[in-house]
Structure formats: structure tokens, C-alpha cells
Amino acid sequence: MLTKEDIISIVTSGEGYNAEFKVRLPNKIKEIASEVCAFANAAGGVILIGVNDKNTIIGTHIENDKRSSVQNSINEINPHIDASLYCVNTEGKEVWVVEVASGSQKPYILSGTIYVRQGPNSQKITSVEQMRDFFQQSDRIYFDEGQCKDFDIEKDFDNDFFEEFKISAGLTLSVDKQQIFNNLKLAIPEGSFKNGAVLFFAKSPESFFEKSVIRCVAFEQTNKTNIIDDKIYGGPLMHQYQDSMKWLKNKLNVRYEIEGSGPRKEIWEIPEVAFKEAIINALSHRDYYDKGGRITIELFPDRVEITNPGGLLSAISSVEFGKKSLSRNPLVFGLFERMDMVEQIGSGIGRIRDEIEKAGLPLPIFKTEGMFTVIFQRQTQFSSEKTEKPSEITDNTREKPSEKPENTRVNTRVKTSEKTENTRVKTSEKPQNTRVKTSEKTENTRVKTSDKPQNTRVKTSEKTENTRVKTSEKLENTRVTTSEKTREMIVKLIINNNTITSTEIAEEIGISLKGVEYHLANLKKKKLIERVGPDKGGYWKVLE
């Protein structure tokens, strides 16, 4: 049975592959039984009733007759599952618990339906193809649920990455490591780490599973004749993703947009988000049972191809492709989800298509048989020059007003001089009696002409001043927005790597070291972050 400390720890970790929260007992009691069935068909899990989706314990009460109904519904699962409903008083409130172990007699069926756990959700499978896939998986179990007997947690576990994971997943840093292992179901009851946990947290997963790496290859031509770069990236899956993204960034054309004195914005020739989705998809859904293949990223002058072993599962039809998902490695998928690397199940393919369409590129090609491959077409004409927005606008605004007053004065003087001279010539040709009128006319012309430059100067001066005011306001707004964006970027970098240095932050977002130190001091002043330990050997902690 779980203790109140166990429940608080699970609630802090949030819902996921092994945890389901309910505010209260649902009206349809069968919903609880279907969740139990799904957990039994997967890696096991726990249902907490009296906890909302904001990870807050609100408590609830369940009458005796309702408890009996829940137990009767669970008993309808075939083969029989040993799971019971019990109450644990936590923070002065009733939290009802149903613990479910991973079943040894899969598949488990409720009312003729097999329920499975996919990420944080339970799904039912009813078609022949879906059932065939499930039976195949049941015969050998999900790869990431198998045990890795050779893994030694004392020497093989990557403690540094585990700290990164806790920060990204929003876990309390003070929570005991073993407690997190238990909550996330990273080990089997006998104590051995599961394959998925080894892939995610081992220093070198490839020493246990040789092909669990990403190979990045660049070719000189559109065929595979001449290789100009070849890298293999191992380590925790998250590091494989980060390393392969850096490799792509160095190989592709990247343009930077600079807004005022703020951080630069990177524009990849193929949207960065599309690569993120494709690589995380490959790491989460590849067939790790295939010991002859590995994930490859191949770069050609005209395209990029990302391939992983294992085609589309037969449970997902061509019509459902991109709308539904059935993961080969639900434990790995769930861990990526906790780090906010994946969102809704089945939405990744749609997001790739949307980003490519917004960039005005040809839609990617998906090959789903045998090996799963996505092909991105590169831009043949892509400017990688830096562009500066607000500063250019400001300079042009300042130049134009200063030019206008000078031109106005010169043109006015020339026209006035010409007009006066013409008047004099005509006057001299006329009789004497017209000299007075001409003199008056000339004098009026001089007066009006004299007034005109003065009026022009006043209007031009006012226009120049208005332009300067608007430009000043625009620059001020740009500075405020830019500072906020810079601080957001710094916090995200700290979340992804809590040991990141000021120099590394400066390189990542493209501002000076003094600028980084200024923003860090501002964030600490606002109590959004704090430094734990010394400058060397310590780490950053995000408070909000």
C-alpha cells in the first residue's frame, strides 16, 4: 500500500504513463476498470482519486456502495487482476488509491476490449490489425519494459543528466532518487533497471544496446557516392537529440534576424521545429529489437532524410497516420513527454506539415514501410545574411527629416530669386507710371517669399520633432520587449541545462557577457532563479 509520502511524491511528479488522476469517482464506474486494464497491459501504474489535473490534492469521499461497484467492475477484467480500492489520508484529505501491477498474463480484456496505455492516456483497440500488433508485443513485451540485467546503477547511471531531467520535468530537487524511480516505474520489482530507463538515463546506452545511437552523414552530391562528414552520437537519448540538432544547425543555412539590441532570432532554411519533431519521433518510436539498424540523418545538397528502424505499426492505417499514435516504446515516450519534448499523441506529424507549409516549402515525404523515413526538401535559394530591423527603420527616419528642411530652403530661395529677377526685367520695359505698382508688387512678392521659408522651417521642425518622439517611443517599446524575450530565453536555457555558464548563455543567444550578467542579476532580484553552490561546481535553480 502507498503511504501519504508516496502520494505526495506522485502528485508532485504529475500524470504520465504510470499515473492517472481523477478529481472524483466518475459516474461511469467502468472508466476506472478500463484504466486498471490499460495499466495491467502496460507497465502497471496507480490511479489517484481526489487529485486534479493541476497536481493539487483536493480530496473526495467514496461511499461503501460505490466502492463495491468499483471492485465489481475491476473483477470483470479477464484474466483476473488483483487490484483494490483503498483510502490514504493525505494533508488532511481523503485520497483514494488503486494500485495496478504489470500483468504477467497479457492481454487483459474488459467487456471484449483490450485497453492499452499510450503516454498519459488509455486507449482501446478493437480492429484485427491492432490486436495482432498487441499480441506480437505481448509475446515479447515492449522493448523498453524489458529488464537490463547488466546495468549497474552505481557506475552506469548518469546523475548529471538525471538532475537536468528533474528540472525539465518540474520535479522537486529534494525528492529522493529512489522514490522517483518507483513513481516512474523505471525498474522491475526485482530491482533491475528497464531497457527504457537505460536508454534514457545511462551514461552510455550504446554499451548495452549497440545500435541505440544516431548517425549523422553529409554527402557531397545528391547521391551517396562521396561522404564529407560522418558523426555518431550516443549517450542518453536527450543528448543524442541535442547533438544531432547542433550538427544539423552547423550544416544547414541559418539566417539571423536582429531586433534592436535584443537577442538574435534564428531562421533555419528548413524549420527547426520540424527537425525536433522528426528526431524525437524517431527516438521514441524506433524498433529497438532491430539490432541491425540505427537512426540515421542524411544530409544532401537538395534534401535531408531522417530514418529509423521499424515502419508504421499496422494498428495505424494510412488514413489515421498523423492523427493517432501507437508507440513501440511507451516508457521512453512518457519520459520525453515529462520533459515537454512531445505534446498531444499523434500531433507531431501534423506539426511537421504545418511548419513546412508556413515556410513555403514542399510538404515532406513520409515512407512508412520497412524503415520509417521522412524526407525534407531544402531551399535552393536561402539568404543566410543577417538582417537588422528596428535600427534600419530608426536611421532612415532620422535622415529624411534633416534632408527636407535644407532642400526646402534652397528651392525656395532659388524660386524667389528667379521670380524677383523676372519682375525687375518686366518693370524696366514698362512706362514710368507703372514703376510704383511694380515696386509694390515686387515688395509684396518679397514679403510673401520671406514668409514662406520661415513657415516651411516651422512645419519641418515640428515634423522632425514628431518623428523623433515616435522613433524614441518605438525604440523604448522594442527594448522592453527584447529584455523580456532575453530573460525568457535565459530561463529556458537554464531549465535545459542547470549547470550552463554565463559564457555559454552569451554564445547561445548572441549577446555580450555583460548583458547576460545583467539579465541574470535581474532574474535573481525578481526571485525567478537562484544560484545554488559556488560559481564553479554549483548550478542554477528555477524558482517559478
Using alpha carbons only, give the angle 130, 132, 136 rounded to the nearest 5 degrees: 115
Q: Which amino acid is at 481?
A: T
The widest CA-to-CA distance across the chain, in whole angstroms, is 129
Residue count of the chain:
544
Q: Is 117 helix (H, G, I), strand (E, B) or coil?
A: strand
pLDDT the model gives residue 432: 44
Per-residue tens of pLDDT for the chain, all 544 residues: 899 999 998 998 888 888 999 999 999 999 999 999 999 988 889 999 999 988 999 999 999 999 999 999 999 999 899 898 999 999 999 999 999 988 877 888 998 888 988 777 888 876 666 666 666 555 446 788 888 989 999 999 999 999 999 988 888 878 888 889 988 989 987 788 999 999 999 999 999 999 999 999 999 999 998 999 999 999 999 999 999 999 999 999 988 887 766 677 888 999 999 999 999 989 988 888 888 889 999 999 999 999 998 766 655 545 445 555 667 788 998 899 889 887 655 567 888 999 999 988 999 999 887 788 999 999 866 655 555 544 433 334 333 433 443 343 334 443 444 444 444 434 444 444 444 344 444 445 444 444 444 444 444 445 544 544 454 454 444 444 556 778 888 888 888 888 888 888 887 877 777 778 878 888 888 888 888 776 666 778 888 6
pLDDT the model gives residue 452: 47
Rounded-to-integer distance, Cα 116 and Cα 125, Å: 8
pLDDT the model gives residue 439: 46
Helix (H) or strand (E) holding 380: none
Backbone angles phi, psi at 75, to 5 degrees: -65, -15
pLDDT the model gives residue 383: 58
pLDDT the model gives residue 397: 38
DSSP single-letter state for residue 226 = -
Give CA torsion, residues 410, 412, 414, 417, to 10 deg.
-140
Q: Are 408 and 460 in contact (CB under 8 A)?
A: yes
Rounded-to-integer distance, Cα 212 and Cα 529, Å: 35
Sheet holding 44-49, edge to edge: 19-22, 44-49, 93-101, 85-90
Rounded-to-integer distance, Cα 277 and Cα 268, Å: 15
Q: Is the dihedral of CA 207, 213, 219, 225 positive or negative?
A: positive
Q: What stretches of 497-536 show up as alpha helix (H) in DSSP?
A: 502-509, 513-525
Rounded-to-integer distance, Cα 99 and Cα 455, Å: 86
Q: Is 237 helix (H, G, I), strand (E, B) or coil?
A: helix
pLDDT the model gives residue 190: 74
What pTM was estimated for this model as a whole?
0.54
HSE toward the beta carbon, residue 414, CA cutoff 13 A: 6
pLDDT the model gives residue 413: 40
pLDDT the model gives residue 398: 37
Q: What is the C-alpha radius of gyration for the chain, rounded to an integer number of angstroms?
A: 34
**Nearest CA-CA partner of 279 in 254, 312, 304, 313:** 304
pLDDT the model gives residue 117: 84
Helix (H) or strand (E) holding 530: strand 529-532
Q: Is 308 helix (H, G, I), strand (E, B) or coil?
A: strand
